[in-house]
Each structure stands twice: as structure tokens, then as C-alpha cells.
Structure 1
Amino acid sequence: MTVIASRLDPHAAEFAANRHAMLEKLAALDAEHAKALAGGGEKYTARHRSRGKLLARERIELLLDEDAPFLELSPLAAWGSDYPVGGSIVTGIGTVSGVECLITANDPTVRGGSSNPWTMRKALRANEIAYTNRLPCIALVESGGADLPSQKEIFIPGGALFRDITRLSAAGIPTIAVVFGNSTAGGAYVPGMSDHTVMIDGRSKVFLGGPPLVKMATGEESDDESLGGAGMHARTSGLADHYAVDEPDAIRQARRIVARLHHRKAYADPPLAAPPAYDAEELLGIVPGDLRTPFDPREVIARIVDGSDFDEFKPLYGASLVTGWAALHGYPIGVLANAQGVLFSQESQKAAQFVQLANQRDIPLLFLHNTTGYMVGREYEQGGIVKHGSMMINAVANSRVPHLSVLIGASYGAGHYGMCGRAYDPRFLFAWPSAKSAVMGPQQLAGVLSIVARASAAAKGQPYDDEGDAALRAMVEQQVEAESLPMFLSGRLYDDGVIDPRDTRTVLGLCLSAVHTAPYQGVRGGFGVFRM
């Protein structure tokens, strides 16, 4: 074994300062997560309970195997928007009857579970994860359909939700709908297109148009039960495959459906692995509050991989990027971790070779981000930084092994792309509360705008307003800083969640387990042209 020798001093003042800064960020994160957990608030939660109904997360908890973990995805969706945090839907991965499943649950305490633009985006991301990783899908449905005031943002792109259900089924990925309440209008197609549908006596209501709409459209008098009740669909229309007497019975039947799927993972689970040699609690004190201060990513690697065992690749070449082989919860992985922030030509070439090796061996890749991007300047341009950076991006873009990304520090510019940012389709992407991501750092971006504006004024022979320039720079810095923070980015679903650093190993282990449900193979010579 090649155990990483940690140089971290948990008693140092620097460690204490880093830990304090991280704990402050975690406290702020917890406050925002609490908003998602609160759903529509006390009033609507109490009203929902008074009807004898379970909350969305309670339904999920009953559905999961006893003591099984639930990896919630995109909990901060809609953060910073006009819509409630969470997007009025809960999504995540959990084990049901021994099978890892992608679970979605409408939150009926938020405007009756109606779908807003963030609900749609969050659900589409969940479908993408299910499709890529071949995870059976269970939808716990209770929704009044589209949030009508925002229909212009939902109607046209929202059709992809129903398209996804049929594509999942066509790919042999089971889809199950459990209807707890309303599933009306377009939402009726969720149970209609699922492989298996469970409805509840006196609770489930599935119809394209409710009694008021039917009255307006046809003049026909009708009631909820005869128009779309569970009894009618179980006995007359045939839409209901399973008829439940109450919510616990519906969940029990959903678990039995999963048990009968005989859905098998492509790869066997690995044997139990040795934990890291160092305490995960120490992850709180590694990343500085000021990301301009460098830190050694090996200290992070040492606290998340099995036995802290890490075989480094090219340790003396391109030292600003740490690459090497390890295992995480028994799954082999290749790790790429930024050391000093900047990516030079050597780092780019090293990364491209490492990605090729991982594809040759069919080994998933883990990217730990802390980069300000590729190096600029005359010397580096003449040395080929564009073609070498392009080589790294080419390798990452065309790699076919599963990629996992965690933003632990800065992730700026094209370095974000080369380290497999969201646009490069990592299977999962998470961020620490310390992370920041943007086209460049706030000071650099504001400075560039100032230089351009000053040059423009000089070219026109106009005087330059230095006071106005200072105010503009301050405003731009503040805006870019706010828009580069993890809660802002997570709210827009640019990641799958902001996580506590101490949970990193567990989160990645759950992701790797999900990844190994679907078969994969690395690319064999199918990269684009490498400009040498």
C-alpha cells in the first residue's frame, strides 16, 4: 500500500481558521436546506396532515429499505428565484427491496404540488440520472399539474418529462407511479405512461380534465370519483394496475413491484473496504476561507479513499495537477485534483494521458476542482497552452468511463471544463460550501471590464471617469462574487447538491454504486484529433 503521509496539523491556527470559516458556511447551508424541508410552511403542512396524508419525505422513508440511505439530489433547486426552495419536488437515490432506484415525490404542501419551471428542470435532471445509470424510477405523485401563472415557461419544454418516461421504459428501465392524490391534466400521463401504476381508494384522482373543465367543455355533469377515481380506474378504465386501501398499503405494493422486477446491477458490489486512515472531521480545516491561498489536495484524497491508499501518477511532472489511482468503498477510481490552482501545459498533457489510461482500463474518474483556469501570458501562449489545454478538454469530453466531479475550491474559466464541469456530463457533480465557479474571479473580471472601458475612452479621445470606474468595479465584483457561490449555482441545478465535506466519501460511494448499475466501457482510440 502507498498510504498518503498527511502533513495536516489539526492544532495549527490556520487549520482552526479554515474550520471556523467552513462551519459558518455549513450553518448558512443548513438554513437554506431547512427551507426546502419546510415545504409550503406550517399552515399547509398542518392542513395536509389533517387530511390523514404523509409528507413527501415521509413517503420516501416508508418506501426505502430499513436504515437505507437516501441521496437527495438538487435540494436547493430554485434558490434565489421567486419560487420556494426545493422546486416543490423531492428527488434522490435510495434502495427499495434491495434495488437502487431513482425516486421522485411531489411536495403537495407547496401550491398543491403544482409544477413550476424549477420542478420541471429538477425532474428532468433526475430522469437523466436514471437513464444514464439504468436506475428504476418510482414517482410518488400528488400534483395539481402546471403552476398556471408560469405555464409559458413549463408547457413546451415540460413535454420532455413524459417523453422521458417512455424512453426509460423502452430502454428496459422500469417505471412505477404511485398516485397519492391529484394527477391531473398533463400530469395524468405520468401514471398513464408508467409501466406500473398504483392508486389509492378515495385518494387518487387521475383525469385529463376535472369536473369544472368537463362541464365547460362538454356540458357534462360529473364527480371526481366517476371521472378519475381509483375505483373507476381499477375496475373500468384499467389505468390502475394495483388498488391500495391507504398510503402505507400503496407503498407496500410499490415495494412488492420492485421486488418482482428482478432488476440486476451490471456489476457485483465490491467487498467491504478499509476506511481512510485519517478522520473525515479534518476535511473541515483543509480548504482556506480565501481560495487564493493554496492547499494540498492530497489531504482531501487521504480522507476519502480506501485506506488513504493512493498511487500517484507522474508526481514530478505537472505538479499543479495531482493524478493517481485509488479505490473508494471498494470501487477503483482515477483521481484528478488541482493542487496550486493554475493549469499549465504539463498539467494538461498529463491529464490527457491519465484520462486515456483510465479509459483503457475502464476505471471511473473523480475530479476534485480547485482551479483558476489555464495559464495566460506571452510565454505560455508561445509554449502552446491553447493546444495543450484543448488536448485535456478533448480527452475529458470524449472519455466514456463514468465521471464524478466535486468542486472543493475555485472552478473558473476553461479549467472548469477541463475538470469535467456540468457541461461535460459528469454522472454526478457536487460542491462543497467553499466552492466558487464563474468565467473568472470577481477581481479579474471587474479589472478586465475596467481596462477595456479605459482603452475605449482613450481611443475616442474622451476623459475617463475614475470615480465611476471604481464604483463599476465594486458593483461587478459584488455581482460576480454572489453569482459564483455554491448556493446560487445549486439553485440553478448547475450541480446535484452542496454537501458537507465530511459526507464526501459517503456521497461518492452512493454515486459509484449507482454508476455500477449500468454497464460501461472506456473509449478505445475514439478521441478527437490531438493537436501536438
Structure 2
Amino acid sequence: MSTLKTLLDTGSEEYRAAAEAMGRKLDEIGAEVDKALAGGGEKYVERHRRRGKLLARERIELLIDEDSPFLELCTLAAWGTDFPVGANVVTGIGVVEGVECMIVANDPTSRGGASNPWTIKKSFRINEIVQQNRLPVISLVESAGADLPTQKEVFIPGGRMFRDLTRASASGIPTVALVFGNSTAGGAYIPGMSDHVVMVKDRSKVFLGGPPLVKMATGEVSDDESLGGAEMHARTSGLADYFAQDEYDAIRIGRSIVKRLNWHKKGPAPLLGPGGQAPAPLYDAEQLLGIVPEDLKVPFDPREVIARIVDGSEFDEFKALYGSSLVTGWARLHGYPVGILANARGVLFSEEAQKAAQFIQLANRADTPLLFLHNTTGYMVGAEYEQGGIIKHGAMMINAVSNSTVPHLSLLIGASYGAGHYGMCGRAYDPRFLFAWPSAKSAVMGPAQLAGVISIVSRASAEAKGRPFDEEADAGMRAMVEAQIEAESLPMFLSGRVFDDGIIDPRDTRTVLGMCLSAIASAPIEGTGNFGVFRM
């Protein structure tokens, strides 16, 4: 492969300004992530500890293999809403006894771990990742069930969580539930529908209706243990497969269950060098902080990003002289083969769209996953480009992305606007994973452009009706719309609505993508030759 050469001037004013801007954004995002890490706050964390219980992330840390990473997903779910950041549940991929598993841990310090509308959305996304990538699921259960004040948004769609769990089992994906506390009402179906269930002595309480509900419904007076205690379920109902003496014992049993699954990946193994390691990039990941300018209208070379994330900074570029606003080529990342599509100058023309479609076809022929690095303002507009076929060529690219069956990874590093977001495999096109850098923005178009379009339409409408046009009101409208769209295009807003799987520090990009490619390899990787009709 060809080795990429860097032209990045780390001593320049432009680099320094970009790095400082990225640092500020990382600090802002870090403050919000800290809210998720804090759970329900000091008061409820201390109350939980006084009960002799581990926190959700402590349970995860004990469950996964020592010194192995945990790729947390959707950390900022519910940000910008009336609900706690993180949506009362911790989710992510960790290695347990050498097996990559999806781990879902209720956070009982945050509103009892109850499921609110954003918990539901986050859970749906996690279940998609499980099914697409064939990842065993481990549920660390301690939840008050549905958030009753919002039941109208939780109850009906929430049933899909249980459906997804049973479908995972039906497709041969193991499901394990470790019950650490209450698992009430609908939550009782998590252990009820899991393949393997562990309950903790004097701690686990699993019932469809607790003592108050039973008394209200039937008049029967009962207690937690006889209705849903761990020992009752282990001895009498048979719901518990394993009876743990304490939380540590439950985690030990859970690891043992995974060890006995006889689980094997169905995708390719990475190509590693001496010592079982892939060659590191030639350039420092720290330099990724200063590549993307604060003003996304200023272009940057995505090869500088590629050079700092792929093995040995080696990259075989495809059609380097054609459609140069889109960089395409082949590389390896942590030993896994990958095809890369990266926007170079924002706008996608007909040449870039056709180049992308051909490249995606080739990746499917070679059963090679694709990585999309977003920095696009969309497809080019104007009479010349409409007449040149930009619609059919853009459609060709979107057709290829839509029907490609090799796994896709998407990373928003700059702008991701308009139909360019679709062509570069945005959320609606089912990338296996989608992450954003703090520098990213995504919307139907840029804030100034959107406000300008509304202004032009309003002015034309006033003229058509013979009414005077209020310039002062128009200026106020434009300012308001620009501010709104700017706020709604930022990564924290999008991450809060689970439109991505997380905002990542640019320096962690290689590690995060490597973990994703490894997780993807749990399932078979097979391309297709069956695309929709390409309009010529």
C-alpha cells in the first residue's frame, strides 16, 4: 500500500486555532457526560451505597475482562430534554471471557432506573446493534419499570424491547440477565425472556405486580420475597437458573455463563503483525485535534485524518484524479480491511457520486466494510448541474449506499448537510455504528441558507399578494431561524435524540473504530451484487 504523507503544519496559527476550538468543545461535552456518569446525583448514589450495592458502571467494570475497554454507546441520550442525561441506563460493548457482548445496565440511582421515552429510544437502538452485529446480550437488571407519568409514550412502543429480546434469542444470539434488585411489572419480562437468569439472595425482586398492586387487585396481603424473591424463583417458580449469594457472585456466575456459550465469530479475523499488533499510524493522534477548522466553510484534507487512524498510515487511493471532492480508497484499521469514503471539499458533484457508487460496488464484491467520513454541504445545485444529471447521479450514490450489504461505519467530522448526509450513509441508512466529533454539524442545510430560503419564499409570497414586505420582521426571523438551526445541528442536540451512537474525542477515533470493526466481525460479512436500477 501507499504511505500517506502529511502536510499538516502543527505550528501554524490555523492549526492552533482549530485545536483550541476543539478543546473548548471537548470540555463542553465532557461536562454533559459527567452528568450521565453522576447518575441520580450524590444523594441517591450514597443511598445506593449504604444499601451495600454496586453502581451500574461498577458492575460493568467487574463483569468485563480485566484491563479491557468498554465502548459506551448513546451516553448523552435525553440531553436537552426534561429527563436525566443518559436516560437511566448505561449501554455499551465490552469483552467478557473473550467474547464481545452488548451490556445493558439500569442505573437505579437515576429515578430508580425507570424507563422513560428516551430509555425506550436508546434501547431500540441498542437492540438494532445487537441484531445486526450478532452480539450476545447481558442485562444488568435493577429497574422500577416504566416511568408512570410518561406511560403514554412508554407503554405501547416499549413492548418492542421484549420482542427484540426474544427475536435475538430466536436468531441464536445468547441473552443473559443478572438481576441485582427490583425488576417490576414489564421489567420482569427481561429475565423472563432471557436465556440465562441469575438472581441475588435477598436482593432480587422479580414480579409482575408488587405487594401494593396485588392487594389492590386481589385483596391478597403478601411480601416481596414470597411474590418475587430470588430464593422463591430459584426453588419454586423456576425463573432463576442460578442463585447468587451476593452481587460479586452474580457477576462471577455471569462470566461463567458467557465462558460456556462456545461462542465463535463468523466474520474475518484481523491481519496482525508481530506480537499480535497491527502497525500503528505514523503520525500522532493528538494532531487530530487541529485538523478540522472551527469554521466548517474552510476546507481541509481528509487524508490528514485517514493518515492518523489507519494501520501504518497506508492508504491505496481509488480514482485519485477523478471526482476529487470525494477521497476513496482502501486501508486496514487494527488489522481489519476497510474501504474509506471521505469528503474533501464539501460539495458532491456528479463525478463524486458516480465514483462513490462504483467504489461501493467494489467493496461489496470484496466483502469489505465501508467507513464514511462526513464533511459535506450536499450535492451541487444550479442549472448547469441539474442539466448535467446531478439528481440521477446523486440518486445512484444513495442507491448504492441503500442496497450495499457490507457493514457501514459513519463518522461525522465536519458538516453533514442535505442529501449529502444520505449519500454518506447517515442514520436513516442503517450504518452499523455512527459517531460524531465535537466539530460536527448536521441539518437539512446550513443555518444561513435555511433562513435565507425562508426569507426568499416569504418575500415572493408578499409580492404575489401585493403586500409590503416587512424588512425588520424578516431580519428578526432570519436571526431567530439561524440560531435555532445552529443549535439543532450541534452534536449534543443530535446525540441527545439518539441520532448518533456517541460523540467521541478525535484522539480516540482509531480505538473506537477498531472496536466497532471487531464487533462487526461477530457476524458474517457478505457483500451483494443486487443494487437497484442505476439511471444512466
Identify the residue that residue 166 of structure 1 maps to in structure 2.
166
3-state DSSP of counterpart to 1:372: strand
Q: Kindly state the Cα deviation for residue 268 of structure 1 after the two structures are TM-superposed.
A: 5.0
SS in 1 for 2:71: strand
Residues in 2 aligned to 1:32 and 1:3: alpha-carbon distance in whole angstroms = 38
1:269 Cα shift? 3.1
Task: Find out whether 1:218 has 2:218 as its counterpart.
Answer: yes
Q: How does 1:123-522 map to 2 (within 5 A)?
A: 123-270=123-270, 271=272, 272-522=277-527
Equivalent residue number for residue 533 of structure 2 = 529
**Is 1:84 aligned with 2:88?**
no
Deviation at residue 123 of structure 1 after TM alignment: 1.2
Q: CA deviation at 1:120?
A: 1.0
Q: Secondary structure at the match of 1:370?
A: strand
- Structure 2 counterpart of 1:530, one-letter code: F
CA deviation string 1:39-60 (max 9, x = no partner)? 1000000000000000000000
Distance 2:212 2:289 in 1: 56
Aligned partners of 1:120 and 1:48: how far apart in 2? 24
CA distance in 2, matches of 1:127, 1:423: 16
Report the TM-score when normalising by structure 2.
0.99
- Find out whether 1:55 has 2:55 as its counterpart: yes
State the distance in 2 between where 1:33 and 1:516 align. Answer: 29
- May I ask how many residue pairs the two structures share in their alignment? 531
Alpha-carbon distance between aligned partners in 1 of 2:135 and 2:262, rounded to the nearest angstrom = 13
Separation in structure 2 between the aligned mates of residue 104 and residue 124 of structure 1, nearest angstrom = 12
CA RMSD in angstroms comes to 0.5
Deviation at residue 489 of structure 1 after TM alignment: 0.1
Q: Structure 2 CA distance, aligned partners of 1:94 and 1:425? A: 22
Rounded Cα–Cα distance in structure 1 between residues aligned with 2:12 and 2:340: 28
* Percent identity (aligned): 75
Tell me, yes or no, if structure 1 residue 17 matches structure 2 residue 17. Answer: yes
Instruction: Determine the C-alpha separation between the residues in 1 that align with 2:269 and 2:496.
Output: 33
Give me the whole-angstrom Cα distance separating, in 2, the residues matched to 1:273 and 1:505: 12
Deviation of 1:273 (Å): 1.1
Provide runs of 4+ in structure 1 moved above 2 Å.
none
**Rounded Cα–Cα distance in structure 2 between residues aligned with 1:55 and 1:413:** 42
* 1:520 Cα offset (Å): 2.2
2-side partners of 1:301 and 1:159: how far apart? 42
Task: Name the CA distance, whole Å, in 2 between partners of 1:140 and 1:351.
Answer: 42
For residues 10 and 302 of structure 1, the distance between their equivalents in structure 2, rounded to whole angstroms, comes to 15
Indicate how the Cα distance of structure 1 residues 33 and 187 shifts in structure 2: closer, same or farther if over 3 A, else same.
Answer: same
Question: What does the per-residue CA deviation read over 1:327-357, in whole Å, with 9 as the maximum and x for residues that have no partner?
Answer: 0000000000000000000000000000000
User: What stretches of structure 2 of length at least 5 have no aligned partner?
Assistant: none
1:94 counterpart residue number: 94
Spell out the pairing of 1:105-124 with structure 2 (5 A cutoff).
Answer: 105-124=105-124
| 1-structure distance, mates of 2:170, 2:112 | 31
- Does the Cα contact within 8 Å between 2:416 and 2:440 map onto a contact in 1? yes
CA distance in 2, matches of 1:26, 1:165: 35
In the TM superposition, residue 127 of structure 1 has moved relative to its aligned partner by 1.0
CA distance in 1, matches of 2:268, 2:398: 32
Shift of 1:521: 0.8
Question: How far off is 1:267 after superposition?
Answer: 3.1
For structure 1, list consecutive stretches of 5 or more residues without a partner in the other structure.
Answer: none
Aligned partners of 1:207, 1:423: CA distance in 2, in Å?
37
Report the Cα distance in structure 1 between the residues aligned to 2:278 and 2:99, rounded to whole angstroms.
Answer: 21
